[in-house]
Amino acid sequence: MTGAAYDLTEQPWLLVHRLDGRVEEVSIREVFARASEFRALLGDLPTQSFALVRLLLAILHQAVDGPQDLAGWRRLWQDPALPMADVNGYLDHFRGRFDLLSAETPFYQVADLHTAKEQTFTLERLIADVPAGSPYFTTRLKSGVERISYPEAARWLVHCQAFDPSGIKSGAVGDARVKGGKGYPIGTGWAGALGGVLVEGRDLRETLLLQLVPRSSQKLDLSDLDVPVWERPPHTAAEEIGGARPYGPLDLYTWQSRRLRLWCDGASVTGAMIANGDRIAPQNMHRREPMSAWRRSKPQERKLGTVPVYMPREHEVDRALWRQLGALLPNLASSRDEPPQLLPPAVLEWLAEARGAGAVEGHYRLRTRAIGMTYGTQQATTDDVIDDAVALSIGLLAEANRELGSAAVDAVTDAEVAVQALGHLAGNLALAAGGASEGPQERARETGYAELDRPFRSWLAGLAPDTDIPVARAEWQRTTHQIVIRLGSELVTQAGPAAWRGRTVNDWHVSTPEADLRFRKRLRDSLPWAYPKQEEVMA
């Protein structure tokens, strides 16, 4: 570190998307003061914006002392601006911990972090869009990884703590785990283990408040010991061991998965050391981590000898968020004695509670984003970044609208069975022509889901507490049928003479007419509301 200072509470470093469409760089104080002017917090990657929102949430939670209960949250929601006197007072108190270049307590770093050989390191491992070993994929010029600005370095610092891949790290002096000068893998950053869920409102002020679960909520286990990292003693190179950590959301929002140090030349950041930080186990963290869905794990139950055990439900790269809708809706959780297989994000459970209490109007529309990172072999490299979103009415979350939520999930099933029928058609046509079925089946399913994607999102966004559910379901089945039957007809038209003649496969004859007949029967069986009733036809 240098003797200079770079106060992140005052200096611009956060990227925001303004309501007028422009992008701006602002400080922490300014992002809170002008939150209603911004559509969203941006990042160099979507995962970066997710990590930065969590940082702001930790500040806001502590600045407003909770809020303590639903009444306190309602007052914040109804106020057109965030309580800046509280925010500024809080930031004044902890200002020294937000100095990026502090010689003693640099933000999200360990000041004297070093290896036994006093090595220095370049920036490639800090910047997640520079894949290790594949520099030809990078969008950066060479100069872009030799030095970066203080604002960009601060953003990547937060991202690294949240999403850094696993793998061997620099061996820091003072870390008892180091062997042969190396820090051996402890897993990814905490957010990298999640299927991150971010609920967005009409502006950044609303987005922050929608995630601001009150202390009185029964959806999370909250502790007075739960504080962000800057309220704790500064870290050393050693792992922090002992206690019941993590204590809750604020601990997790600012979890120090790594020990970091930046090198500067007085004008920019030129290098970064990344060493192992605090390990964390994901099992049964659903009562402390609100921004992820969870799945029950039978292997973990056998391993730990306890029931139930929940693990974060990670996002699937090739599966759109709307197809995972059932995992998001709180009012569909199982009420049987058997523990449910899926748990929705606690933030959505809290919003269902807020809607049920009338704190948020029933027609209010949320934009629910799925943000996550996938990793390569042994989680040591970054493979892909997931960013998907669906717009839905908050009414779908409330217990009073269970039938509406069920209808939405049933509509997903409508799409899936129809697409499966399309895949079977493609596979049967390929078999009839003398080919293999697997490839054509997969391609047809991909096409089906792609064609249904935008119509479903539009249909889902239109659902509201006063929606006529049978009418809406019938509308969606007709839309699904129209799209899938068109795709099926195209496949039939494209089938060659060999497929029309057909052949016998495993003792049954398959040909284009027979495959088409099975396809249409499957659609009729699975989408009954897409077909007019007999009396309607006769009329």
212-228 pLDDT, tens digit per residue, is: 999 999 889 988 899 99
pLDDT value, residue 250: 97
Distance CA 109, CA 2 (A): 14
Same domain, 421 and 393: no
Q: Is residue 194 part of a domain?
A: yes
In this structure, the answer to whether residues 392 and 437 fall within a common structural domain is: no
- Given 397, 421, 453, which residue is the final one in a domain? 397
Phi and psi torsions of 295, nearest 5°: -125, 145
pLDDT at 383 over 70: yes
Query: What count of Cα atoms within 13 Å lies in the side-chain half-sphere of residue 102?
Result: 18
Cβ-proximal residues to 264 (8 Å cutoff; 6+ apart), any chain: 1, 2, 4, 101, 150, 270
> What distance in Å separates the CA atoms of residue 182 and residue 172, rounded to the nearest whole number?
8
Residue 432 has pLDDT above 90, yes or no: yes
Interior/surface letters 137-147, b for 16+ CB within 10 angstroms, e for the rest: eeeeeeeebeb
Pair 349, 428 in one domain? no
Q: Is residue 423 located within the same domain as residue 392?
A: no
From residue 259, give the alpha-carbon distance in Å to each of 70, 113, 237: 37, 8, 6
Q: What is the mean pLDDT of the chain?
A: 92
pLDDT category, 333, cuts 50, 70, 90? Answer: low
**Do residue 343 and residue 278 come from a single domain?**
yes
Q: Could you report the per-residue pLDDT of 471-514, keeping only the tens digit for each?
A: 999 999 999 999 999 999 999 999 999 999 999 888 889 999 99
Count of structural domains, the chain: 2
Query: Residue 475 belongs to a domain with what CATH number?
Result: 1.10.132.100
Residue that finishes a domain, picked among 356, 375, 397 = 397
Distances (CA, A) of 523 to 4, 422, 473, 527: 69, 9, 15, 6
- Average pLDDT on 229-258 reads 92
User: 2 lies in a domain?
Assistant: no
Domain contains 8? no
Note whether residue 7 is domain-resident. no
In a domain, 128, yes or no: yes
CA dihedral (446, 448, 454, 459) positive or negative:
negative
pLDDT surpasses 60 at 3: no
Q: Judge if 377 and 408 occupy the same domain.
A: no
In a domain, 276, yes or no: yes
Q: What is the pLDDT of residues 113-139, one digit of tens each?
A: 999 999 999 998 899 865 555 554 455
> DSSP character for 240?
P
Residue 381 and residue 485 share a domain: no
Q: Are residues 61 and 105 in the same domain?
A: yes
Residue 179 in this model has a pLDDT that exceeds 50: yes
Could you tell me if 408 and 364 lie in one domain?
no
| Reported confidence tier of residue 334, pLDDT bands at 50, 70, 90 | low
Judge contact between 115 and 265, C-beta under 8 A. Answer: no
Looking at the fold, whether 267 and 405 belong to one and the same domain comes out as no
Query: Given pLDDT bands bounded at 50, 70 and 90, which one contains residue 143?
Result: low
Does pTM surpass 0.75?
Answer: yes
Residue 223 lies in a domain: yes
State the Cα–Cα distance between residues 258 and 431, nearest whole angstrom.
Answer: 53
pLDDT at site 433: 92
> What pLDDT score does 535 carry?
43
Structure-token pair, residue 427: 């596979």
Q: Give the mean pLDDT of 236-261.
A: 92
Q: In this structure, what DSSP letter does residue 255 have?
A: -
Tokens representing 60? Answer: 């806001």
User: Which residue range is the domain that position 177 belongs to?
Assistant: 14-397
Share of the chain above pLDDT 90, in %: 83
Single residue among 397, 422, 451 that ends a domain in this structure: 397
Q: Which CA distances in Å does 249 have to 49, 450, 459? A: 17, 36, 34
CA–CA dist 185, 187 (Å, integer): 6
Q: Note whether 462 and 330 are same-domain residues.
A: no
**Do 256 and 383 share a domain, yes or no?**
yes
pLDDT value of position 255: 97
